[in-house]
Chains A and B, each alone.
Chain A
Amino acid sequence: MMPFTDWAGLTGLALVWLLLAARLPFVQRLSLLRRVVFVVGGYVLVMIPVFGLSLAVWLRGMVGDLSITSVLLLAGALYGRLHPAAGPLWDARERGALLLFLSGMALMLYPFALGWGPLDPYRSGYGSIGLLVMLALLALWALRRSLTLLPLAIALAVTGWSFACYESTNLWDYLLDAPLALYALGATTVILLKQAIRGKRA
């Protein structure tokens, strides 16, 4: 029987395939009920091994388990694809705040974790009270600023770590992953550039 941590990791990766499939034009023309059937069927398909390897298992070898934050964003994006009439779950301000947070975390984590200098911030993910307090303060500050996506992402990641939903014992792996970090850095750069250009024109 597959361990829960494997199932959790593979489900997150299955969302990537489902989101890609949901972008196909014919899916957009399906009724809501058929879209849901499409997603459930697609989930089963990407989890079923073909010649000993499922699409989710293959992707897991390439990128590892996605963070809880990635899963939250993928699930939100998939919901938007399936139910476009409902409108976006989070507005630009919410998304911008989360992307800024993720970009900051990525810049703080990856260069040092890959060997720049003697200190490794990844170490703080192993049960550091300091990291938890910092994240708690950040989540509370975001709530006070009427943000919901950022505190929700942080709280979900911390909960996932508390219940050991993934193989990793390190909190950083629940908050952030490399593909998400690249996406956040790219998107934040675009947002900042747009703001700078708009400011110049004004």
Chain B
Amino acid sequence: MRQYKRLTLLAFVLTAFTLALFKASGWHFTYGFRLPPPVVQTVAPPVAPVIKKSRRGARSSPPAIVMGRLEAHLASGRQQTTTHAASLVELQDGSVRAFWFSGSREGAADVTINSAVYDQAQNVWSAEQVVTGREETQRGLNRYIAKVGNPVAARAANGEMWLFYVTVSLGGWAGSSITLITSADEGEHWSAPRRLITSPFINISTLVKGAPFFYADGTMGLPVYHEFVTKFAEILRLDQTGKVIDKQRLAAGGRGTLQPVVLVQNPQQALILNRYAGKDAEKRVVSIATSDGGRHWQAPQKSTLRNPDAALTALVLDDGKLLAVLNDQEHGRESLSLQLSADGGATWRELHRLEEMNGLRNAELAETACLDVVAHLLRSSDPVLREADEAQLAGYLASARTQVLARGGCHFEFSYPYLIQTRNGDIHLAYTWNRTFIKHVRIDPVWLKHRLQEAP
């Protein structure tokens, strides 16, 4: 009887491993990157060109020379909320959809993932709509969820729109896991949520911020990062159904690499720029490179870009130049800078200062003076507000006031930038505006070309 049991168990073991080896033998992927489709520049749309802006974004007198367009809008519209962590994706019709999270405060149970669409032709943002929230995610995932955050959108290989976002069941953001929902109709309707299992330790501490990219075999690379116990950047590889098929660590824990942004330069070369969350006094963006299609990644290097432990964004232009947007300062997030590298990330120079409030950090402004500055910034952030009367502006001002004055002074924050380039060559940037609104900046190729020529 005992011998019979052992033989049965032996047969089971052999069958189990035969099945598993069969499955593993079909587990196949290759290295090498797929380049994004080239930009097809169209005739400039018939909207008035702009605009030479002052450093604080104020409108100056009408330009004598057409310089192309750099124009701003507020993408989000909800007031009296905390709003953060935008991402963008181009729709099939050339418009742009943005996602962000919004609620009574970051991490609150009422936070939802929201979205709006920018109509390039009409030059306006649609009304904000709720995509998903804590309760809907909890029902779909069949597990308790305490809060949601950080949505990152992508166009999948099959044409669907995928939206990754983080959820937390216990503790702070370091306890995050990634959830995926998909849409076959450009974000109007969404699938049930699906949990990505990415960590052996109760599946916690995998967060997403950077834009996904593609490998040559059609699988998707999702830049992610780990925060529990120690911090490090990773890449998840997803197959065309969204299943995790590989995970690659980019740096050992303790190197302070967070929120990786992957810049695919050619089928074999890519550069990753990481937010630096380490202990060094001199905080610089950390870069990690590959020259064999992502099979191996070189040791992390400090770049020349300043980084006050804040998220950054970047993209590769058609001619190989790199654009980045980040807080180019040693501490704080009171400014936002558009930077260019013409040598693959070795050196960088500022093309344009998008926001600059560093000067007010220690100015000890009175509340009324501070609110005057906020009103000025609001007017320069959206064409509708530029023309709005005081009553129309009041709601926006009250929303911003809550955040700007929250810490007992006049504190500004421009953070979590996210860049994409649409097929017509326009650059779209979204970022958190004082944790109150999501600001969108559209830069057309003419403006960019002029700035590239002007910059030293």
Contacts and interface: CB of A to CB of B under 8 A. Distances in A.
B19 interface: yes
A199 interface: no
B197 A169 contact: yes
A150 to B, nearest CB: 10
B249 A146 contact: no
B16 A155 contact: yes
B142 A115 contact: no
A189 to B, nearest CB: 20
B23 A127 contact: yes
A116 B252 CA distance: 7
B135 interface: yes
Interface stretch (A23-31, A50-58, A83-91): A50-58
A115 B244 contact: no
B54 interface: no
B230 A115 contact: yes
Interface in B19-48: 19-25, 27
Dominant secondary structure of chain B at its interface with chain A = mixed
Nearest to A127: B27
B6 A146 contact: yes
Interface residues of A, number: 61
A140 B23 CA distance: 20
Given A115-B229, A120-B247, A126 B27 contact: yes
Contact of A148 (B5, B201, B244, B249): B5
B226 A115 contact: yes
Contact of B20 (A115, A161, A173): A161
Dominant secondary structure of chain A at its interface with chain B = helix
Interface stretch (B7-15, B81-89, B416-424, B430-438): B7-15
Contacts of B24: 127-129, 132
Contacts of A173: 197, 200, 203
Given A60-B143, A169-B244, A162 B19 contact: yes
B231 interface: yes
Given A62-B144, A162-B23, A170 B200 contact: yes
A121 to B, nearest CB: 9
Contact of A123 (B22, B23, B246, B251): B246
A157 to B, nearest CB: 9
A169 B245 contact: yes
Interface band, chain B: 35 or more
B253 interface: yes
A126 B252 contact: no
Contacts of A62: 144, 169-170, 202
B170 to A, nearest CB: 6
B269 interface: no
Contacts of A132: 17, 20-21, 24
A60 B17 CA distance: 29
A120 B226 CA distance: 12
Contact of A61 (B22, B143, B247): B143
A61 B144 contact: yes
Interface string B213-248: 000000000000010111110100000000111111
Interface stretch (A32-40, A70-78, A106-114, A190-198): A106-114
Contact of B197 (A57, A163, A168): A168
Given A62-B169, A120-B249, A167-B194, A53 B244 contact: no
A158 B17 contact: yes
B331 interface: no
A163 B169 CA distance: 27
Contact of B232 (A53, A115, A151): A115
Contact of A143 (B10, B197, B253): B10
A129 B138 contact: no
A122 B247 CA distance: 8
Contacts of A110: 200-201
Contact of A178 (B6, B19, B201): B201
A125 B230 CA distance: 22
6 contacts: A6-B142, A62-B170, A136-B13, A156-B16, A159-B20, A161-B23
Interface of B: 5-6, 9-10, 12-13, 15-17, 19-25, 27, 135, 138-139, 141-146, 169-170, 194-195, 197, 199-203, 226, 228-232, 234, 243-249, 251-254
